[in-house]
């Protein structure tokens, strides 16, 4: 399989076989990193929205493989402030780099950037839509912690309406015969368009606002932050911000090998007392950002197949 010059915009652009191939390359790179693999290559990091993990792990991955990075973490210091369009920003950046990672608040911005650029573009999150590299590291975490992707009972809790990591992961896992449990207040439930897709694919799913209703069924619980920055009305955010908290008393009624994941950052949705339990997988999950992003960069820059 050849991923050279491929854009990574939506997880839906990848077949099951392609996703499995990427995960195989991640494992190879994790086991045997090649330090000069990306020597002479430059990555542009264009972050129009805040980020800690995605931006820093891409920088770290690139530099650990001998490549270099340029870019910005705050678009206030760019010519966007003078009115430059995203299209023109991308047309300029492609002159200076071999690949682009972009995070932007507008849904569809990653796709637009890929259309503007002739070099590979990686979507680091476009509004509430998609975060495909997070999904690949989420899949890798599941594979490493559960030993498989097939036939798992996976719960998603929190802000399923605006949470882009949920949207991408639901689509990716739908290749692997899961049973899904969507746990959210009605106003923050997963959009109907995703449920329509699951119905078409004959994937079993359950919806509830009750955190404990299916707790004994779950192999994975994927917890998400209430996405404050996406709420049109701040009062609505205040209503939901502390709606669920995973704590030690919740863990009394779960499978022994339940793994709790979270794309991070967390606010109040997982109590710190959970961190030291055998259920917590979220810090390990964030650490997998390095081998996953090394593999993705090496693939799209044509250094591995
Ligand atoms: N998971 C994730 O995307 O984290 P950041 O927002 O810190 O990049």
Co-location of 87 and 148 in the same domain? no
Strands (E), the chain: 42-47, 68-72, 99-104, 121-126, 153-157, 179-183, 204-208, 220-223, 259-261
Pocket, ligand 1, Cβ cutoff 6 A? 51-54, 134, 263-265
CA distance 5 to 72: 23
Closest atom of ligand 1 to 52 CA is 7
- The structural domain count of the chain equals 2
- Within a domain: residue 4? no
Query: Does the active-site annotation cover 6?
Result: no
Task: Kindly report the pTM of this predicted structure.
Answer: 0.96
- Within a domain: residue 256? yes
CA distance 162 to 4: 32
Q: Look at residue 1 in the predicted model and tell me its pLDDT.
A: 86
Percent of the chain with pLDDT strictly greater than 70: 100
Question: How far away, in angstroms, is 57 Cα from ligand 1 center?
Answer: 10
Residue with tokens 């949207």, as numbered in its chain? 167
**pLDDT band per the 50, 70, 90 thresholds, residue 42:** very high
- Within a domain: residue 221? yes
Instruction: Report the length, in residues, of the chain.
Output: 305
Q: Which two tokens stand for residue 45?
A: 């990091």
pLDDT one-digit tens code per residue, 162-202: 999 999 999 999 999 999 999 999 999 999 999 999 999 99
Co-location of 188 and 100 in the same domain? no
Nearest CA to 280 out of 145, 133, 166 is that of 145
Co-location of 102 and 150 in the same domain? no
Co-location of 229 and 296 in the same domain? no
Co-location of 211 and 159 in the same domain? yes
Whichever domain contains 153, its CATH number is: 3.40.50.1370
- Within a domain: residue 167? yes
Co-location of 145 and 119 in the same domain? no
Show the domain range for 178: 132-286
Co-location of 155 and 282 in the same domain? yes
Query: Does the active-site annotation cover 277?
Result: no
Co-location of 249 and 112 in the same domain? no
pLDDT one-digit tens code per residue, 70-97: 999 999 989 999 999 999 999 999 999 9
Query: Does the active-site annotation cover 145?
Result: no
- How far is Cα of residue 290 from the mean position of the Cα atoms in its chain? 13
Co-location of 66 and 153 in the same domain? no
283, 288, 293, 295: CA torsion to nearest 10: 180
- Within a domain: residue 2? no
CA distance 262 to 270: 9
Question: How far away, in angstroms, is 211 Cα from ligand 1 center?
Answer: 24
**pLDDT band per the 50, 70, 90 thresholds, residue 112:** very high
Query: Does the active-site annotation cover 54?
Result: yes
Nearest-CA residue for atom 3 of ligand 1:
54
Co-location of 153 and 195 in the same domain? yes
Contact status, residue 247 vs residue 273, Cβ threshold 8 Å: yes
Q: Look at residue 117 in the predicted model and tell me its pLDDT.
A: 98
- Within a domain: residue 5? no
- Within a domain: residue 235? yes
Please pick, among 104, 131, 259, 294, the residue that the annotation labels catalytic.
Answer: 131
pLDDT at 11 > cutoff 90: yes
CA distance 286 to 109: 24
Residue with more model confidence, 82 or 1: 82
Q: What's the angle, vertex CA 122, arms to CA 136 and CA 220, rounded to 5?
A: 20
Q: What are phi and psi of 86, to 5 degrees?
A: -65, -40
pLDDT one-digit tens code per residue, 116-146: 999 999 999 999 999 999 999 999 999 999 9
Q: Look at residue 35 in the predicted model and tell me its pLDDT.
A: 86
Co-location of 192 and 278 in the same domain? yes
Co-location of 162 and 234 in the same domain? yes
Contact status, residue 136 vs residue 16, Cβ threshold 8 Å: no
Output the DSSP codes for 11-68: GGGS-HHHHHHHHHHHHHHHHS--TTTTTT-EEEEEESS--SHHHHHHHHHHHHTT-E
- Within a domain: residue 40? yes
């Amino acid at each position: 399989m050849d991923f050279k010059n491929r854009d990574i915009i939506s997880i839906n652009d990848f077949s099951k076989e392609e996703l499995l191939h990427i995960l195989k390359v991640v494992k190879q790179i994790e086991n045997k990193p090649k330090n000069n693999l990306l020597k002479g290559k430059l990555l542009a990091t264009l972050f129009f929205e805040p980020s800690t993990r995605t931006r820093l792990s891409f920088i770290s991955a690139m530099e650990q493989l001998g490549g270099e990075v340029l870019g910005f973490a705050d678009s206030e210091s760019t010519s966007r402030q003078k009115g430059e369009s995203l299209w023109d920003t991308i047309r300029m950046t492609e002159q200076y780099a071999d690949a682009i990672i972009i995070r932007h608040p507008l849904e569809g911005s990653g796709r637009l950037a890929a259309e503007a650029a002739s070099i590979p573009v990686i979507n680091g999150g476009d509004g509430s839509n998609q975060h495909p590299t997070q999904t690949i590291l989420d899949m890798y975490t599941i594979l490493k912690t559960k030993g498989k992707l097939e036939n798992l009972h996976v719960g998603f809790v929190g802000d399923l309406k605006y949470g882009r990591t949920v949207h991408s992961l639901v689509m990716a896992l739908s290749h692997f015969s899961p049973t899904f449990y969507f746990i959210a207040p009605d106003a923050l439930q997963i959009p109907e368009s995703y449920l329509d897709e699951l119905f078409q694919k004959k994937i079993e799913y359950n919806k509830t606002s009750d955190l404990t209703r299916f707790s004994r069924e779950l192999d994975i619980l994927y917890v998400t932050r209430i996405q404050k920055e996406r709420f049109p009305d701040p009062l609505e955010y205040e209503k939901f911000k502390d709606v669920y908290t995973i704590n030690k008393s919740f863990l009394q009624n779960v499978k022994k090998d339940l793994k709790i994941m979270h794309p991070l950052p967390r606010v109040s949705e997982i109590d710190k007392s959970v961190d030291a339990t055998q259920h917590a997988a979220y810090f390990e999950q964030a650490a997998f950002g390095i081998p996953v992003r090394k593999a993705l960069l090496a693939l799209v820059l044509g250094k591995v197949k």
